[in-house]
Structure 1
């Protein structure tokens, strides 16, 4: 098996918000097909599709009712087969979302197979990730079932070999159809401590995060399914450390190709979690990414991301979405794409889409956000305080429709969109980006192209420089006599350094301000290549 995924770039599509082909206000498979040439132009290699399976949509498709059926509002299995064929025709690959920590409570397994889930006469004290208790009472069975997420998302019992075989059978079915791999939703939650003990203050994570049999389950999955296909795998793993990741991604262990870590995306949350807003300390970010770069170098593999369907827009979060939106979006892309790992681009990131600040709570759709609002009001937070947190960190920031043009609703739909479009679509849209040779879109295109042309980006080691600098993220990559020197200014301040040797590989301003020294302007990024 080759490791083609090491040089690849992944583009995540959130189907509900990508492109609506039939005017019902919801993105769909035919809409994705219409935009495949756009993605081919960008230069990406792999499309990761958030769930499109049949679902009652309690958590936007992450509550699956039938793994073998397409959600009606997205289209049919015939549509999917056509999409897969069109993707492959363009030399691209498709990665599906695999959600097997839980199903919907409307899945037939939940109706038919009691031992596929966790049932207890008396619940423990665990809290749900989406607020409230992690157990729901079922009147018919007179028992409680475990749901780490929504009460409509009961957790699967992976201790049961029949359940595991049912999952593997489903995975083979999709791979035999021709899909090229899986992104695995909270996959490190599938092994629970069988005793299900109480957690400190209701936090059950010590007993289900990276649980006792997780490596055994993943190795079995690899042996039974993954090792028989030339596919890509990435595990979403909250709470996984670099040491954990080494085990998960070391090829000798035959588990997964890479994982998603959350550490770097938690650095702007205070002691009380993500809604407890805190300004990013750049030194913390540098040291965190350095730790991951070093830990997995020549052992496993990193996935590189700023954005996804669960994260607010990076240009609003770590950049400047006002005067320096274009410069800071390009700088953030440079910082990430010059590291070792497989980069992920989330829809709209390539045109610099921003967070949205809906004035009314009624405009928000996300279950996590709505549950949090109730919880914080009960704790005494003010409405304004909560809305500020939602505008900064809410998941709907990533879920507003893709901005294709300056036409009504950003060209996403001719109907009423399921969630409002960000009002800035008139200025920020793909049509504008495609017509401007200096746009963020073409900058991403260049970064993707450089990864294919320079092996040092894939293979080189990583060395952080100017470690304590509060505004500038600078590092070197070295491999077999080649070197990259990367400077990224995370601020509006101007900073001066000695000018590195070498040619400029990529730069987010037209040219350097001086040929004597490196004067980094606001949000400036520049990469030097030395041999």
Structure 2
């Protein structure tokens, strides 16, 4: 297997709006991140992924960009960014930018020109269509609910927006547009940024038929995803990005790709494909979704989670690379979802960390994950800020007929704002995030869960993450070892091995709050075993065969 720095890295995602506010306006900013670089360096991460910091009217918290080469006023200035970039590099770390090029803000100059006239040179930078018998061009539903088309009275046509109506989709069929995007990417790379996380990048190629999508049960609009996910020219476009821009720099790339399969991911990340290094897939995040998608609950089993993660581990082995994540700015907190955020919060947070970080791939930590931050249960929909959450509440209550209680329960479990409450730095007012009024309320449990307490406790979740990152730097097997699942049908224990050269890793993780007995293949018991890490004591030699404690994890090096 080819060795690369980005395979050996550990990435930490910063959501700037919620990370650290330096000027008291209630909004996190670049200088706030600068203040906390020593904390990130102490944790041991190599790469900081910044969610969008570009100029934006914030309809979708920065994922609606109005100027790719300016910094959002609330976050600071371009000079502040350059100072942050230098400080990161001085500490031996790197910065990966969020690249959002499926769409822009409707306040971007390109779109203002595009909508000004059907004859404007930039008209074709976006996707405009005439109506269909007085209705939208097709029946596609927006990811954020409602129609994916918005009527423009000025030119009597509709434009496509797969997300908010303030996020019009770019037309990648237009070569001049692509050249402008490549120029912008080069501008950032010349400044010294170290890579891109590419937002919904597998949406950029649309099937030019723009056919109606299937309408599922109790839906008002059709599912257009077969016509815009992994579209007909997507590999051509990504190879062009690589040839024109990425191949000229030693950078890291990851593409966010809803609806991608392992077979498609092999094409996106294959060694000789010249596209991307890895993808974010969502199969393990979609577990438990019902007829209304993530807002409705369906039964799921640990064996389902193991099957999905194992499929990705073996599917990309030797020809491709996995991204490893439990959390990001769009997902609920993992300790509340797959762990136990009550009695066993600390144990389950550590177990989930070990389970993920010992897989093959590049691990991503989302801010606060290393503290065991939990979901939030705001009492009123008025306390939420996320556009998807607000639109979904409206649809579930007023179109689907859900009770407000049922809807709020679903939002408590799955809202994106679970990840967006401010970072909990200490037990002072507003968790030390801001001296002003935070843009979204702080989780009330900040007096118990915060970075200062975790940093000062050698047995905390923070120090467990630090140890995991340290082990990754010490043992090549954690990065490059081959994966093999054990006990596939066990509904309590996720167990697997990694093999590299003459060594093996054995990873045992109990996902339940009761003791879990297990048996192992005799071949594994014949090895000399050293326990590398665990959440119920970390020392010892030999494989302990007594049942795993509630949410216990054990990682052994076998020789």
Q: TM-score, normalised by structure 1?
A: 0.98
Q: Aligned to 1:117, which of 102, 121, 126? A: 126
Within the alignment, does 1:57 sit opposite 2:58 as a pair?
A: yes
Judged with a 3 Å threshold, the aligned counterparts in structure 2 of structure 1 residues 515 and 480 are, in CA distance, closer, same or farther, namely: closer
Provide the residue aligned with 2:155 in structure 1: 141
Q: Deviations over 1:366-404 (max 9, x none)?
A: 000000011011211000000000000000000000000
Q: Distance in 2 between matches of 1:381 and 1:186?
A: 30
- Structure 2 portions without partners, runs of 5+: 114-121, 132-136, 216-221
- The more displaced of 507-516 and 365-374 is 507-516
How far has the Cα of 1:141 moved from its partner? 1.1
Within the alignment, does 1:387 sit opposite 2:408 as a pair?
A: yes
Provide the residue aligned with 1:509 in structure 2: 536
Provide the residue aligned with 1:248 in structure 2: 268
- The more displaced of 122-131 and 490-499 is 490-499
Structure-to-structure mapping, 1:428-447, within 5 angstroms: 428-447=449-468
Q: Aligned to 2:182, which of 148, 168, 174? A: 168
How far has the Cα of 1:272 moved from its partner? 2.9
Structure-to-structure mapping, 1:247-286, within 5 angstroms: 247-286=267-306
Q: Distance in 2 between matches of 1:256 and 1:319?
A: 32
Count of aligned residue pairs for this structure pair: 531
How far has the Cα of 1:298 moved from its partner? 0.5
Q: Distance in 2 between matches of 1:197 and 1:14?
A: 36
How far has the Cα of 1:270 moved from its partner? 1.7
Provide the residue aligned with 2:551 in structure 1: 523
Provide the residue aligned with 1:48 in structure 2: 49
Aligned-partner SS, 1:345: strand
Provide the residue aligned with 1:132 in structure 2: 146
Judged with a 3 Å threshold, the aligned counterparts in structure 2 of structure 1 residues 515 and 40 are, in CA distance, closer, same or farther, namely: closer
- For the Cα contact (< 8 Å) 2:506–2:557, is it kept in 1? yes
Q: Distance in 2 between matches of 1:415 and 1:2?
A: 46
How far has the Cα of 1:278 moved from its partner? 2.9
Q: Aligned to 2:335, which of 315, 318, 333? A: 315
Judged with a 3 Å threshold, the aligned counterparts in structure 2 of structure 1 residues 517 and 2 are, in CA distance, closer, same or farther, namely: closer
Q: Deviations over 1:77-124 (max 9, x none)?
A: 010000000000000000000000000001000022111000011211
Q: Deviations over 1:477-511 (max 9, x none)?
A: 11111000100000011112347550101111126
Q: Aligned to 1:416, which of 407, 416, 437? A: 437
- For the Cα contact (< 8 Å) 2:339–2:348, is it kept in 1? yes
Provide the residue aligned with 2:26 in structure 1: 25
Q: Distance in 2 between matches of 1:445 and 1:227?
A: 33
Judged with a 3 Å threshold, the aligned counterparts in structure 2 of structure 1 residues 345 and 511 are, in CA distance, closer, same or farther, namely: closer
Judged with a 3 Å threshold, the aligned counterparts in structure 2 of structure 1 residues 516 and 203 are, in CA distance, closer, same or farther, namely: closer
Aligned-partner SS, 1:87: helix
Q: Deviations over 1:254-284 (max 9, x none)?
A: 0000000000100121243100123441000
Q: TM-score, normalised by structure 2?
A: 0.94
Q: Deviations over 1:457-476 (max 9, x none)?
A: 11111111111001110001
- For the Cα contact (< 8 Å) 1:2–1:230, is it kept in 2? no
Q: Aligned to 1:355, which of 375, 378, 387? A: 375
For the aligned residue pairs, the C-alpha RMSD in angstroms reads 1.3
How far has the Cα of 1:515 moved from its partner? 7.6
- The more displaced of 511-520 and 465-474 is 511-520
Q: Distance in 1 between matches of 2:21 and 2:52?
A: 16
Judged with a 3 Å threshold, the aligned counterparts in structure 2 of structure 1 residues 117 and 520 are, in CA distance, closer, same or farther, namely: same
- Structure 1 portions without partners, runs of 5+: none
Aligned-partner SS, 1:517: coil
Aligned-partner SS, 1:468: coil
Within the alignment, does 1:153 sit opposite 2:190 as a pair?
A: no
